[in-house]
Structure formats: structure tokens, C-alpha cells
Chain A
Amino acid sequence: MTRVAITAIGVVAPNAIGINAFRDLLDSGKSAFRVQDFVPKQFIAPMKLRRMNTLSRFGVAASRLAIDDRGSELPEGAGVAMGTAFGPVQTSVDYMQEYVEKGAALAPPQLFAESVANAAGSHAGIEFGLRGFNVTLTQRESSALAALMYAASQVNKGSVPAAIAGGVDEVSEIVVSVLDRIGALGRCSRPFDRHRDGMVMGEGGAALILEADAADAYAHVSGFGIARDRTSTISDWGDGVDDVVRAMRAAIDDAEITIDDIDAIYASANSSIRADRLEYRAIQTLFDNVPPVVATKGYFGEYAAGGALQLVAAALAIRDQKLHASLGFSEGEEAMRFTPTREAAPRKLRHVLVNSLSAGGGIVCAVLSA
């Protein structure tokens, strides 16, 4: 595919508001799963704030930060592709609580308006006057990458002059309790580690601005591959190694490079037993010589910004020509033939593969290039 530039980034991440704070977070070697020091009114007018739930606030603030990072407003025709794994589940719960207490006729309309999954993306469109496409992708752990893929396709097609691709998700009581009961949650996030016992849920928002090839860019989006693991169950990962390999290879082919051109892999690994095993087996199958693999979800968990923080980390790696340390990994399983990065290190990075494997079988892989 024709390359598309990532020209600006905004993040509302756990312990990191803004791209520079996020860079510091990745250098800190510390985990943070909840967004705590976010002051929405720094980004959104009070009258508008009342109409927005947490996800909308994450989405609009991240978009504001991205536009600030770009240094100028986006053209009116720009589009928005937001990704979210769970969407505003908490808003639906709040609505149903009122429904139970006050009755079906007296629940608050404002909560209903915010209960749709595309509320965050729509608010970003309204706030910044963006009249291009406005679509919200909801492919579980792959939501942000799916959003990036659609946004990049539209910039390439020429249907928009620029686009925001991003993601939003929040840690809500109901989602955490359900993930916990099905055994998906672990004590801590240890991607690829032999003692991993499940994911940790993270939250936040991110927005990446995509434009046709530009001189000054964090990185370029240069290829995508999608596939589906036909062995997966509805709420877990399967063992369809060949399907994951197919998606990675398709992304590399789409970028018109070879397997040997991949300088690093920013892995999907989220500390789930099956997910991480599936991914490391697929990586070893495709790559005879496995390039450095970075597992980022030890920093901010799974679902952080709909999965977009992993993507932002990969874009920063290319911008800074530096690999991040994989947090939470100490020792791999015997069958694992590579060791994720243990320390941050300068590195020449031309092409980075970004993987995203979701429960239920969806696979989206992207290649980011310098």
C-alpha cells in the first residue's frame, strides 16, 4: 500500500498525559493501569463536558493533544476512526440503573445519547469540526489497529485529506468483574513470561493523525494484514499459528518489503496464557531469525486506549530510533526461542511489525516504517 504518515499523536494514558509524558512512562520501567491525573476541563469546555462520558472525554482530549502536537487545526474534511473494545458499557449500566429506579420513561436521555459506542468519535468530530467519515471500530483487542487500518485506507483513497485514528477504553467495575470471573485477569501483567496468569486491564485514549506522506512524521503506516484464527472460541484465543503467520506475512507483503526487513516486532502479548503462546509460536514460525520483540502491555495493560498505546509505543520507537524494554518479562517457556527486549536501547529501525490478536479470533497486523 502507499505509505501514510503519522504526523501527530495525543495520548491520555495511565500516568501520562501527552506524548512526551508517555515517552517518559515507557522509559520509567513502571506499570500504570488507571488514568489518574487527567483534568478534563483543561481540554474541554465545562458546558460540553457535562454531555460527555469518560470515553468521550478521553477521545476528545487525546484528539486535542494530537492537534496541538500537529501545531495546527485539521482540515474540515478530515475523518475519524475510533477503536474501542468495550465501548461505554459503564454508561449503559448507569442508564439501566436509572431505568430500574425511575422507570423506562424517565431514564436520562443524556445517558442514552452517550451509550452508543461511537460517542467518543462523534464528539471528536463535533469538537474539531471534522466532516469526513466518522466510524467506530469494535474488534476487541484489535480495535485500535482496525481503526488505524480504515483511517489509513481512506487517506490513501483520497476520500479525506487527513484522519484521526485512535482508541478509547475505560476500566469499569462490570467489565473487570466479568473478565475476572471468566479467568481472564492475572495478578500482574507479564507478557510472554512463563508464570503469566492473565491480563491486566488498562484504560485511556489515544489519537494519531494520519496524512499523505509528509516530511516530518513519527512514522509511516506502510502495510496491513488481516486474518482470523479459525480455532478460537468466542472469548479466548486459539492455536491457529498458521492464521497469525498469514496475517503477519500479508502485512509485510503489503508494505512491499521482505521478512528480513523487519527490524523489530511490537507484540500483541498481553500476559494471557493462550494469547502469548499463540503469538510467540507464530513469530518463531515466520521468522528464522527473530528480530527484537518488544512487549509493551506490562506498562499499561490490555485495552488501554482500545489497544492504541501499543501502536503509539511502536511509532515512538521509530521516531526515537530506540527500542523499549519489555516490562514484566523475566523468563519464557521452554518452547519459546526468543527473549523479549530486557532493556531499552538505541536501534536502527526501518520497519516495525505491530501485532494485534484478539479473543474470538480476529487478527490485525500492521507495518510501521521510518
Chain B
Amino acid sequence: MTGAGIICSIGRNKEEVWRAIEESRAGIGKLTRFPGETFPTDIAAEVEADIDALLPVSRREAKRMSRSDKLAIVAAKEAIEQAAVATDRAVVSTGTSTGGLVEGEEFFFRRLTRGVAPNSRVLQQPTSGPSDAVARVFNVGGGVISNATACASAGAAIGIAADYLRSHHADAAIAGGSDALCRLTYSGFNVLQAVDERPCAPFSSQRKGITLGEGAAYLVLERWDDAIARGAKPIAELCGYGATCDAHHPTAPHEEGRGAEAAMRGALSDARWNGNGVDYINAHGTGTLLNDSAETKAIVAAVGTGVPVSSSKSYFGHTLGASGAVEAVITILALAHQIAPPTLRLDDPAPDCALDYIPHTPRPMAMQAALSNTFGFGGSNVSLLFRRA
């Protein structure tokens, strides 16, 4: 991995995000994106930055993009600039859960109230949008691969890219995810009663659900030898990934974390590791009753009880389809800084969550390798294994 870029509620780039992590500063506040609409809960982890000002495109071109497209471009730009990689033979691999759904909703509302709505709003709807937008802005010629595997999307995007590098179907990859807040998702998790009315508290006995967030992150991946040969400096190594399915329930995880455990084992086996030497796990840690309990069981089954675990969602909420990439970047930054990010607001760990979750403050520690977990609706699970460069 030779480049990384990130944008979420706690920062517009790696430096800002990491500073917030080190200062234990969460980015969760009042929901402002949908004025005039009432939901059962009213907090979110929104990107407050003026995204348009960060875009390397004309205002005219920006008008045709969805918010998910724009977030993707901002994160991809940071990653590509750091890697200084040629994009003409690179592929873009993006995971997104909703793509331009928020623009689709605007189209829908306008059509409902006025009978017609501008096409420009709905052309941005497809989940292939962020990949296509990044590819277009950075003149990518190697191909585009989009997946919409709910909240596991970005993890899958990174795994797919890694495999296509190994099989030489791609020579470099810009892989990540992007998702903007939208009404359907905000309302949907509320009707599922999966949203905490207060900022989420993963692994806590007080936890009641997720906090919805938005963001994007991308990694630039190359075959290690190619990166060295062109004089690039790897910032971390993606050693392997595992992708599995609970085959259990459309929205709820398997109670024992069956698929999650298999995903972590898959990542280790992909990297030909025996499970020893994982120093830190960046958990999916959504803050729902079911996930945190099931994930804890899965972690214990996969690597035992001795590995510190934390949930970065306590900082920037659940960025849905982007979470696999956003949290991959956090994991890589943790390895680079040799500081494990904490789980905020963990005053009272739950009895069913009995691991070391690094409460409240960052912890300096020696880390060679770390897992980053990401799970989604439909029981899709992806676990990524990174090693310090």
C-alpha cells in the first residue's frame, strides 16, 4: 500500500483525522443534512467540510456529481497524490451501499410534488457512480469495479483489488469506499430500532445501537515488488483478507459470530499466518447489542482473548458502505504511529463484551500486524489483515 486518503466527520485528510483520534475527539452532533424532516433520533456523524472546495474539478462538473461521488474523489485524491502512482493502467475498486441515493431521493420528492424532476439528480444514483467518478477525474484506464455489499462493501472492494493485483488483472488499484448520509438509511436503521439516541457506545452495557455517519477512504495498492521497483515507499502491507457469509439472516448477525470468525480466519489463512502475532483489531464494533456481542465471540474464537480491540465508530459513527475503507485507513495509521486508537464512551463495558477494548484514550503500543473487520446486511463479512511497513 503506497497511498491512503480519508474524509469523515473528524477530518478531511489523514492528518486531521489522526489528530482527532489522538485527542479522543469524536465527530458526532445534531443531524443537519435533512432540514424539515423528523426522525426518531437526531444525531449523526456528518462531514461538515465544504466538500466542493476540496474537489479538483470545475464547479460545472461538480454539479453533476453525487455527494458520495464527491467524498470519494476527495479521499482518492489524497491517496493518489501520496502514492504518486500512474493511473492510466490502474483500476478503481469501490464499495458503496447507497451510491447517489440521497440525490435519488431528491429526484423522487420533486417528482412526487411537481410531477417532474431534473434527470441530473437521478443519473447520479447508480452504485457504480463513485467508481466511475473517481476513474473519470483521475483518468483511470485499467478498469472500474464497483460492489454494493451493504456495510461490507469497502472491505470487499479492497479484497477484490488485492486479488486482481495478485492475478495480474490489474497493475495498480485505487480501492476503497464511499457513502453519504441519506434519508432512506437514516430512517431505515431507525425503524429497525438499531440507532442509539445518544452517540454510539460500542461494547458498553449502555449501548443501544449505531450512530449513522458518512465518509470515504481509498488506498492505493500495488504489488510489493512493483512499488519498490518504481521507488515508492510502502506505508503498510495488506497481507490478506477473508470474505464470508453468515448464511443466517438478512439483517442480524449470527449470534455466535460464525461468519465473522471465519472471515478473520480467512484473512490469516490468505496471508498464511497461524493467528499468532496479531497485535490489534479494529473492530466492526457498531454499538448494536447483537453485533458487539457476536463480534466479541468471533474474536475470541479466532485469535483468543489477548488481543486489544477497539471501535473507531465511537469517533465517526457507522460510515456504512465506506466503513471498511475508512477503518482500514485508521488501522494503517495506528500501525504507522504505533498507537492504538481507543473506544470512546466505554465507561461501563458490557458483561458479554469482556475483551480489552482500549477505553477512552489512545494507547501507545508495539504493533506489527492488525486486523480490520467489516460486516454487513445479509451476513456478509470481510476482514483485512495489515502489517506495518
Chain A residues with CB under 8 Å of chain B are: 1, 51, 79-80, 84-87, 89, 92-93, 95-96, 99-100, 103-109, 112-119, 121-123, 125-126, 128-140, 146, 149-150, 153-154, 156-157, 159, 174, 178, 181-182, 224-228, 230, 232, 234-235, 243, 247, 250, 254, 358, 360-364
Q: Which residues of B contact A89 (CB under 8 A)?
A: 104, 125
From known contacts A92-B104, A103-B38, A226-B143, infer whether A113 and B244 are also in contact, taking CB-CB under 8 Å.
no
The yes or no answer to B126 lying at the interface (CB within 8 A) is yes
Cross-chain contact A150 with B38 (CB below 8 angstroms): no
Q: Which secondary structure dominates where chain A touches chain B? A: mixed
Do the beta carbons of A131 and B377 come within 8 Å of each other?
A: no
By Cβ-Cβ distance, the 7 closest A-B pairs, closest first, are: A122-B378, A112-B188, A226-B143, A117-B148, A134-B245, A133-B243, A104-B187
Q: List 12 A-B contacts (CB under 8 A).
A: A79-B245, A104-B39, A105-B191, A108-B191, A113-B377, A118-B150, A126-B250, A131-B246, A136-B148, A138-B99, A138-B148, A230-B140
State whether the Cβ of B142 lies closer than 8 Å to any Cβ in chain A.
yes
Most buried by B among A95, A126, A232: A126
B245 and A122 contact, CB distance less than 8 A: yes
Nearest Cβ on chain A to B133's Cβ, whole angstroms: 7
Chain B interfacial positions (CB closer than 8 Å to A): 37-40, 64, 91, 97, 99, 101, 104-105, 108-109, 112, 119, 122-129, 131-133, 135-136, 139-150, 156, 160, 163-164, 167, 169-170, 183-184, 186-192, 242-251, 258-259, 262, 266, 270, 376-380
Bound Cα distance from A112 to B378, whole angstroms:
12
A361: chain B residues at CB < 8 Å are: 132, 135-136, 144
Shortest Cβ distance from residue A181 to the other chain B in the assembled complex, whole angstroms: 5
From B105, B128, B147, A140 is in contact (CB under 8 Å) with B128
Given known A-B contacts A134-B380, A228-B142, A51 and B250 have beta carbons under 8 A apart = yes
In the complex the two chains form, what is the Cα distance from A24 to B305 in whole Å? 59
Measured CB to CB, the closest approach of chain B to A237, in angstroms, equals 12
Smallest Cβ distance from B246 to chain A, in angstroms? 7
Q: B148 touching A243 by the CB < 8 A rule?
A: no
**A116 and B150: CB pair below 8 A?**
yes
The answer on a CB contact under 8 Å between B247 and A129 is yes
Task: Specify the chain B residue showing the minimal Cβ separation from A229.
Answer: B141
> Is there an interface contact between B245 and A362, defined as CB atoms closer than 8 Å?
no
A residues in contact with B147, CB < 8 Å: 135-138
CB-nearest residue of chain A to B61 = A234
**Chain A nearest CB: distance from B280 CB in Å?**
24
Q: Of B91, B164, B377, which is within 8 A of A116 by CB?
A: B377
Judging by beta carbons under 8 Å apart, are B108 and A362 in contact?
Answer: no
Contact A226 B170 (CB under 8 A): yes
Tell me whether B146 and A131 are in contact (CB under 8 A).
no
- Given A105-B39, A107-B191, A139-B144, do A99 and B91 touch, yes or no (CB 8 Å)? no
Q: Quick one: which of A1, A105, A106, A108 contacts B167, CB cutoff 8 A? A: A1
Beta-carbon contact of B244 and A131 below 8 Å: yes
Query: Given A138-B127, A234-B133 in contact, is the A243-B188 Cβ separation under 8 Å?
Result: no
Is B148 touching A116 in the complex (CB atoms < 8 A)?
yes
A358 to B109, CA, bound (A): 28
Cβ 8 A contact of A95, one of B39, B122, B188, B266: B188
When distances are taken between beta carbons in the complex, the residues of chain B under 8 Å from A146 are: 145-146
B301 CB to nearest A CB, Å: 15
B146 neighbours in A (Cβ, 8 Å): 137-139, 146
Given A100-B112, A228-B140, A250-B169, 4 extra CB contacts under 8 A: A85-B126, A113-B377, A226-B170, A228-B141
Q: Which A residues touch B119, using CB under 8 A? A: 178, 181-182
